[in-house]
Amino acid sequence: MSTVETENSTSSAPTAADTPPEPGTGTATRGAAIGDASVAGGARSGAVARAAGAGHRDRSDASPGAARAVLRLVGSELGLTFRRPRNIAMLILLACVPVVIGVALKAFGSDEETPAIVTQVAGNGLMLTFLSLSMLVQLLLPLAVGVVAGDSIAGEANAGTLRYLLTAPAGRTRLLAVKAVNIGVFGLAACAVVAVSGLITGLVMFPVGPVTLLSGTTVPIMDGVLRVLIVTGYSAVGMAALGLVGLAVSTLTEVPIGAVAATVVTVVFSQVIGAIPQLGPVRPYLLTTWWSSFDGALRDPIATDVMGQGLLVFAAYALVFGAIAWGRFSGRDITS
């Protein structure tokens, strides 16, 4: 990581602490870096420039500037994530699912066999949001988050832009934190897109009124909307925990598709383990078990114990895998 070293020598001490010098391929890497610098990809070069700018600001003034610098880096990352065509396509697809469910229910109605939660949608549009989330939270949402998370570091490394990103004296820890925030925001956006799409479809297609909870209690519509918010927030935290797993995997490889696949396979594997009755004792330790516990918000009183436990599991996963990502990324040789 000779380019960083060069930058360090001309810049500030705190950055040097964040990016320790690395032994080895000094001249070769430097040569390659200089060669690549002119052709660094369009969007990313902008980000590098911003990160570099952030670094300069960091040096000139103290903490408020540093905060602003991080915010600018986050903004740049979010801009990249939400402008990327595949991410937009995934969000559009997620938004379509509630619409498809709504249209199918409206067109074909329901018979005796359909579960009550489905038939309830026909009676109350608000239920469409919960139904959509309960269907998507097991696979499609984790898939979308896994793509963004798996791509986060490995994608940069694969495109050869990671070096330039680190050229800016922003620091590896800070870059990792920004990536994590980016994944979390995308997860929240994905859940919110499903919730909003479900709400709008429900409002347009079905009557909306007081909501019947799973406990048989009927609550006013505003209470129902509040519960939509709780459910969305809970799901987003669950997705963020998966995002950190993906981030940790992403620091281990330079092949983004490998990181994405590994993240998604982790999800599927957990679900298979969770479905085997003989492995019941393992279930409470799996991330996937707790995603669907958002239905605790649909009980009366709200099952705070179950959901609180779910949040603790999410936090534990985030802590462990965040630490793994940091341990790997902060001490890794960046060769591409």
Partner 1 sequence: MQSTWRRARAVRWAVPVAAFVVVGAAVGAGPVIAAVQGDPALPDRTAAQLLAEVAKTAQHQQPPAMSGTVVETASLGLPSLPLPSGTSSSPLSLLSGSHTLKVWYGGDGRLRLALPGQMSETDVISDGKGSAWLWESATNTVTRFTLPEGVKGDKGKEAEAAHTALPTATTPQDLADRLLKAADESTAVTVENGQHIAGRAAYQLVLTPKDSTSLVDRVTLALDGETYIPLRVQIFAKGAAEPAFEVGFTQVSFSAPAPENFAFTPPAGAKVKEQKPEAAKPGEPWSKDGAAGHAAPGAEAARAGARTHGSGWGTVAEVPFSLADLSKQQNGPRGGGDPAQMIESVLKSAKQVSGTWGSGKVITTKLVSVLLTDDGRLFAGAVTPEALVQAAGRK
Q: Which of 78, 159, 200, 214 binds partner 1 (CB under 8 A)?
A: 214
Q: Which of 61, 204, 215, 308 binds partner 1 (CB under 8 A)?
A: 215
Nearest approach in angstroms of CB 301 to partner 1 is 7
138 binds partner 1 (CB under 8 A): no
316 binds partner 1 (CB under 8 A): yes
Burial class of residue 29, CB neighbours in 10 A (0-12, 13-18, 19+): buried
Binding segment for partner 1 (CB under 8 A), chosen from 74-82, 143-151, 253-261, 325-333, is 325-333
319 binds partner 1 (CB under 8 A): yes
Tokens of 116: 């009550």
324 binds partner 1 (CB under 8 A): yes
5 binds partner 1 (CB under 8 A): no
Contact 234, 311 (CB under 8 A): yes
277 binds partner 1 (CB under 8 A): yes
Residue 253: how many other CB atoms lie within 10 Å: 16
Nearest approach in angstroms of CB 136 to partner 1 is 13
Size of the site for partner 1 (CB under 8 A): 41
Nearest approach in angstroms of CB 320 to partner 1 is 5
115 binds partner 1 (CB under 8 A): yes
Residue 158: how many other CB atoms lie within 10 Å: 18
Q: What is the DSSP letter of 218?
A: E
Q: Which helix (H) or strand (E) holds 252?
A: none
Distance CA 247, CA 260 (A): 10
Binding segment for partner 1 (CB under 8 A), chosen from 34-42, 44-52, 113-121, 150-158, is 113-121
Distance CA 126, CA 244 (A): 31
- Tell me the DSSP string of 32-74: HHHHHHTT--HHHHHHHHHHHHHHHHHHHS-HHHHHHHHHHHH
Tokens of 15: 């950055």
Residue 21 or 220 having the CB closest to partner 1:
21
220 binds partner 1 (CB under 8 A): no
9 binds partner 1 (CB under 8 A): no
Q: Which of 16, 99, 117, 257 binds partner 1 (CB under 8 A)?
A: 117
* Dihedral angle, C-alpha 193, 51, 154, 94, nearest 10 °: 10
Nearest CA to 259 out of 166, 157, 147 is that of 147
221 binds partner 1 (CB under 8 A): no
Q: Which of 12, 25, 119, 253 binds partner 1 (CB under 8 A)?
A: 119
Residue 88 or 323 having the CB closest to partner 1:
323
Q: Which residues contact 182 (CB under 8 A, 6 or more apart)?
A: 74, 77, 78, 81, 148, 152
Catalog residues that contact partner 1 under the rule CB under 8 A.
20-23, 115-117, 119-120, 123, 130, 134, 210, 212, 214-218, 277, 280, 292, 295-296, 298-301, 303, 305-306, 316, 319-320, 322-324, 326-327, 330-331
